[in-house]
Structure formats: structure tokens, C-alpha cells
Amino acid sequence: MIKNKVIIIPIEGDFAHSADFLRQTALTLAKYNQVYIYDQINSYFFLKKKAQVTYPSSKNLHFHQAKYFLPGRKLLGLEQFNRKLSWLLFLAKFGLKDKILWFFYPNYHDLAEVKVKNGLKIYDCIDYQEDSEKEKQLIENIDYFFVNSKVLAKLHQKQSKKPIFLSAQGFFEPNEKLIKKSRLSFDKPVIGFVGGLNYRLDFPLLDQLIKNNPQWQFVFYGPIQKDQKKDPQFKTTGWLRKISKYENVLMGESNNRYELYGIIKQFDVTIIPYNTQVNFNKYCYPMKVFEYFYFGKAVLSTEIEELKNPEFKNLIFVSNKLEEWQKQLQKLLKNKSQINSKKQKELAKKNSWENKIQLISKLIFSE
């Protein structure tokens, strides 16, 4: 396991985002290292009062709001200078200590260009990136390039650095004693989804499925997430409003993982209804797969490429067709015992965050 290092992770968005790969990575690393979350998004001018941002408190986990030193940030050249200067000054604080700069986002390719003493840089690629040029620049300036899926490994074979496939994707294994018993009660079979309620959902598929099956209860539990660029294109707000009005639909939200796990336990069948016309969805590897698996739930998904791999045969049913979803749901609800829950749980545990970090540790420190 990686130990006794200074680990710096630039962040985009909310630390508590429902897609919590950054948070879980940071918390796992913080067991044995000093981890710094570098917040460029909420940077502030050094002569002004520090912007008020609420950060969580956790042992060995620290948050740093970047400063900028030259006004006029709308000018591209000044913004780039500010970013790099702030980054250099922050890195200088750690002197000759062993450092790992842990990048998730191609938007930080410019920071990866900065040379660092006693340190190495990794790109932990967990999603398909639309901005291939920025991603290419990031890959050219890091020491190790990891991918968490076979699909991403294949897509990146022509990069300047070959991707290293990690066989562990990342899963938070719960303390089962802490899982909260759900107060929700249903008198129908429950078809459930947990995760962000956003433009990624295949709304036409869901709309027809829900409308055609009033005998089933559909539960969507997760935050409603807005995307200024994507929402107008996919009419997200209108679709969510329409679906929420069906009598056999419940939409809820919780930031408590143990509450969410309690809700998953009530599902009869779990779904991943992503719109695979969007490349980000088509080439993704949903972390919720292993949350569903841990609790022995049947999984029905749209045609996400990674979920077509042999290890998921008879564990995940994949189709984009409404008729196939209808048939599979009827079959799964009629005979739940066809799911190999033991194998599902073993796969979930194999994909733990600890196992993923352990794999990375062996790869970067074995030379």
C-alpha cells in the first residue's frame, strides 16, 4: 500500500458528489498518507478575503484553496500564469518530501506540465473524456497512466503512453451493522436506481417502461444534478418532471451512503438506464454495479460496453430495447434465484478501493 507520501489531488466540483471516486480515493489514501485536495475552482485573489467554502474534516485529509496573484483573470494568458504560479508555490511548501500528484481531470493538463522534485504524476482515468486534446496533453506529461476498464484501455491504445489496466474499479464495502433500515414501504415489486438524476438517463426508455407497467414500483434515489450545457439538449428538466408525476414512481434523495444501501436492499431488480447514444455513457463503468452486486441484486442495463464483458455474463442483462427490458424484468421478478449472489458479492469485494490503491502501489513502486 502507498504509505508516508504527500498526495495532491486537484478537484473539480463538489467533494461529496454522488460519483465519489475522488472522495473514496482520497479517504483510502489518507489512511497512510497526508492527502491534499487542491481546489482551483474556488481560487481567490490573494489580497482579498478568502472565499468561504465548507470542507469536510477527516484525519490526514486537507483542503487547499488556490490563490491567484494577478488581476484580470478573463485574459487567457493571465489565467494560465496564475494557475501555474499558484500550483508552483503550493508544491514548494513540501520541499523534498515524496509527492504523488494524482490527476483525474484533463482540465488540469497545464498543472501536469510543471516539473516536480521528488515526485511522480499519475492519471487515474475513470471515465471517457470528451475533450480528447486536453486528455492527450495530460497523458504526455504524467509518469503513469491507469484506466479502470477494458473499454478505456482499448480506446487509449494509440496514446503516447500506453494505458495500464487496473482489475479493481473501486467499491465502498460497508459495515453492514451500520446500514439503516429503510422506512419506505411498497406493495408492488420494486425496480430501483440509485445515482445522479441527470441528462445521462435514457428518458424515452424509462417513460415507456413506467407508463406500460403500473403494476411495478419504480424508485429513483439520488440528487437531481444540473448541467448547463447538456440539459437543454436532452430536455432533462422536462423529462424529470414528467416521470416524477407517474403514480408508480418515487424520487428521493440522500447523501447518507448507509441510508442508500438500506434502500437498495429493498429493490427487487436494479437498473442502469443510461442513454448510450452519449459516448460518456457508452464507455463508462458505473460504480453502482458493485453496490448492486454486494446486495445480490439482479441488474438490468442499457448497452454500456464494459458491462458486455464475459465476467458479467448471467449477472447483468444488457439491452437498449424496451421489449427486452420488459421481458427481462418479468423473468427476473418471477425467478430471483437465477442470480448468483455469491459470485456478485465476491466481485464487489474484489473491486474495493483498497484493492485498487494496492494495485497502483505495486505498479509504481515495483521498479
The pLDDT tens digits for 282-299 are 999 999 999 999 999 999
The pLDDT tens digits for 238-253 are 999 999 999 999 999 9
The answer on pLDDT for 74 being more than 80 is no
Q: Do residues 170 and 250 lie in contact, with contact meaning Cβ atoms separated by under 8 Å?
A: no
The answer on pLDDT for 14 being more than 90 is no
Mean pLDDT of the chain: 94
Confidence of residue 144 (pLDDT cuts 50, 70, 90): very high
The answer on pLDDT for 367 being more than 60 is no
Q: Do residues 319 and 303 lie in contact, with contact meaning Cβ atoms separated by under 8 Å?
A: yes
pLDDT at 75: 73
SS3 244: helix
Find the radius of gyration of the CA atoms of the chain.
22
Q: Residue 171 has which C-alpha cell?
A: 467499491
How buried is 287 (Cβ within 10 angstroms: 0-12 exposed, 13-18 middle, 19+ buried)? buried
Least confident of 47-51, 152-156, 253-257, 310-314: 47-51
Domains delineated in the chain = 6-170+352-365 (3.40.50.2000), 176-350 (3.40.50.2000)
Of the ranges 51-65, 72-86, 253-267, 274-288, the best mean pLDDT one: 274-288
